[in-house]
Amino acid sequence: MKLHYACVLVFACSRSPSFPPASSSNPDAAQTQADAASQQQHDAATMATGPYLVTTIDQGVTASVSMMNQGTAIGQGSANGATPFTLTNLAADGSNTQTIVSATNPFAATGNVPDPAYGFCDYTAATPARISYVTGAKFEGSAGTDPMQPMTPFYFPLVYTSPNTTTANAVGSASPILGLFDWRPKDIDEALVVAESDDLGATWYFMQNVLELSPGNAGCPADVHSTNAAGSADDGWGHAAIVQLPGTSAKTGQFLYMLDRSPANVDVAPLYAIALPQSSNKFPIWNTNNTDPGANDIKSIATTLTNTAGTQMPVVAQQTVGLLNPDGIMAVFPTAATATAGSAVTVMYVQKILDGDDTGATALPTNEQCKKAPFSGKTNHDISNVRLATTTDGVHFTDLGVVQGLNDPTTVDYRGTRWVSPRATLLDLKGDGSLWGMYFAGGNCLDGDSDAFHFIGYAESTDMMHWTVYYDADHPIASINTITTANQTDGTMVTVPSTAPVVATEAWFAERLYAPTLVQQDATHLVMTFAGYGVQTPGDDLLDYRQIGHVALTVSRALVTAPNNANTH
């Protein structure tokens, strides 16, 4: 993606993308000349005053690994299960080692993990049994006795606030934030973990483990040296998003959206929209109509799709209609608190066309396809389009078309943005919907992976549809390892990023980072929770991947409204 530069007094150089010519081979990514002219006028107007919001970091602030208690669930205790397995347990096995080699290759890693199920199941008995990490103390107003562990293998966070969650559920009396996290011990099990934080994401307290792929002993591999790779491993649900419909109370009209990763759906089938009738103000995703311990209807994917017998108010899981090849809902534009029932909600989502750039009607010329990534050796042919859609009922959506400016699905430049991750955070910068800011994650041919995990950037828009990027792969908020290599565009040597990222790169996210989700600390500080990997490919080393971390960012102007991640009122 070509970049234009404009230096404005007191602000750093800003960048805005220019778009490729319309291409009949990729009609969704094409623009009419009128659209292009309108976009250029929009870019020029925005650049004339410089970026509205500049992101910096206070002296001495660094990104840190987030911690979670391993033990009792808040308020539920052992009756509904304990916190899930973490890689701290796996690392406790002395036969498992890890080595990260980065002197010549920033993606090189070697690992020796002969016992991948260590700490997950007990193999001393004839039949493997799931290990339950319960210490017996509830986190209700006191710190309890549970140990705190690094949040791995957790990733793809969604962090938001909800008036439906009371204070002092965990520790302290601060207003809590909620976190939804994909939990994915590779090739063993998957689930959605719900947690609460009273310190803006530094420490989390476990609430629920729901939508589990293989609950209980069913998730135990045959022996400690085995995985479930030959069966249903990696077939769970993920990429959680929350939408609350206008004109509804905090306990009704709320939907959870999940991506179905099973092979039959090849990652881009309709999302599952799960209505959330809430029976407790402490648990945002909890249906307790089934009173059997650990067997509430949303506990596993199986019981969600086929409700437990005797359920009086069953969980309803429906597939979305109208979203095109969705990889996940990226962001939700807030509606006014006065909006009435039936009003439309606008969402931004990522359309992923698997192998789209070299097959079928969307095929691109060879010079617009990625070659093998220089370090990972991967080649990816997916097309990623960011799109807008509206819904009035949470299930049926009307697609509004492809968003312009965030990415270029044809770029092979290692400084460009070819793919975008389906997780972002919106800021209503003036409080009236006239100017939007957005933190997002992107990637390109340098990674060879459409998961878009190379950098975290920032963009702005006045109309939701046209965006100007101010922090990109070459000038990022945060980035993976700095890489110097020959650019695919013309073979010249490039260093990416050429400008040091705002957030210094740490070892735990040096090879993947994405899914930025932010909450407000005060008028000029945002705390960003995001996912990071210490290795690019988990198969290389199970001991150093899928980590949750956080960092406090400083913005150049006081924010009128807090970030919106779930359209909650």
* In the chain, % of residues over pLDDT 90: 52
Choose the weakest-confidence range: 230-244, 252-266, 543-557: 252-266
Tokens found for residue 442: 């992107």
Name the range with the highest mean pLDDT among 60-74, 297-311, 347-361, 553-567: 347-361
Given the DSSP bridges, would you call strands 436-443 and 419-420 parallel, antiparallel or unpaired? antiparallel
Question: Residue 66 region, left (φ>0) first, then alpha (ψ -120 to 50), else beta?
Answer: beta
Peptide bond into 153 cis (omega under 30): yes
**Model confidence over 264-305: pLDDT tens digits?**
666 568 999 988 765 554 455 554 445 554 456 788 888 888
Q: What is the pLDDT of residue 190?
A: 92
Q: Which domains does the chain have, with CATH numbers?
A: 3-555 (2.115.10.20)
Q: What is the pLDDT of residue 502?
A: 97
User: Average pLDDT, stretch 157-170?
Assistant: 73
Q: What is the pLDDT of residue 171?
A: 61
User: Average pLDDT, stretch 160-185?
Assistant: 76
Q: What is the pLDDT of residue 172?
A: 60
Q: Are 70 and 133 within 8 A, CB to CB?
A: yes
The alpha carbon dihedral of 388, 391, 396, 398 has a sign of negative
Choose the weakest-confidence range: 125-139, 189-203, 237-251, 535-549: 125-139
Strand order in the sheet with 317-319: 237-244, 254-260, 272-275, 317-319
- Rounded Cα distance, 467 and 135, in Å: 49
* In the chain, % of residues over pLDDT 70: 78
E strands within 211-307?
237-244, 254-260, 272-275
- Identity of the amino acid at 427: L
Statement: residue 318 has pLDDT above 50: yes
Closest to 524 measured CA to CA, from 560, 563, 558: 558
- Rounded Cα distance, 197 and 175, in Å: 9
Tokens found for residue 243: 């939408």
Q: What is the pLDDT of residue 525?
A: 97
Q: What is the pLDDT of residue 78?
A: 44
- Rounded Cα distance, 111 and 186, in Å: 14
- Rounded Cα distance, 537 and 48, in Å: 42
Q: Which residue has the higher pLDDT, 456 or 209?
A: 456
User: Average pLDDT, stretch 536-550?
Assistant: 84
**Model confidence over 183-215: pLDDT tens digits?**
998 889 999 998 888 889 999 988 878 888 988
User: Average pLDDT, stretch 225-242?
Assistant: 88
Name the range with the highest mean pLDDT among 169-178, 282-291, 383-392, 560-569: 383-392
Going by pLDDT thresholds of 50, 70 and 90, the confidence category of residue 452 is very high
Tokens found for residue 401: 């078309």
Q: Are 538 and 227 within 8 A, CB to CB?
A: no
Q: Report the mean per-residue pLDDT for the chain.
A: 82
- What φ, ψ does residue 219 adopt, rounded to 5°? -85, -5
- Rounded Cα distance, 569 and 567, in Å: 7
Statement: residue 150 has pLDDT above 90: yes
Q: What is the pLDDT of residue 295?
A: 55
Long-range own/partner contacts, residues 374-379 (CB < 8 A, 24 or more apart): 374/446, 374/483, 374/485, 374/486, 375/105, 375/106, 375/107, 375/108, 375/483, 375/485, 376/107, 376/447, 376/448, 376/449, 376/536, 376/537, 377/448, 378/447, 378/448, 378/449, 379/448
Angle ∠(78,542,115) on CA atoms, nearest 5: 75
Q: What is the pLDDT of residue 381?
A: 97
Q: Are 197 and 176 within 8 A, CB to CB?
A: yes
User: Average pLDDT, stretch 11-28?
Assistant: 34
**Model confidence over 51-96: pLDDT tens digits?**
689 999 999 999 999 999 887 776 554 445 567 889 998 988 988 8
Statement: residue 48 has pLDDT above 50: no
- Rounded Cα distance, 502 and 56, in Å: 6
User: Average pLDDT, stretch 207-230?
Assistant: 87
Q: Are 513 and 501 within 8 A, CB to CB?
A: no
Q: Which residue has the higher pLDDT, 535 or 456?
A: 456
pTM of the model: 0.88
Which residue shows structure tokens 């078309």?
401
Q: What is the pLDDT of residue 144?
A: 58
User: Average pLDDT, stretch 369-397?
Assistant: 95
Q: What is the pLDDT of residue 168?
A: 57
Q: What is the pLDDT of residue 277?
A: 63
Statement: residue 353 has pLDDT above 70: yes
Q: What is the pLDDT of residue 16?
A: 34
Statement: residue 450 has pLDDT above 80: yes
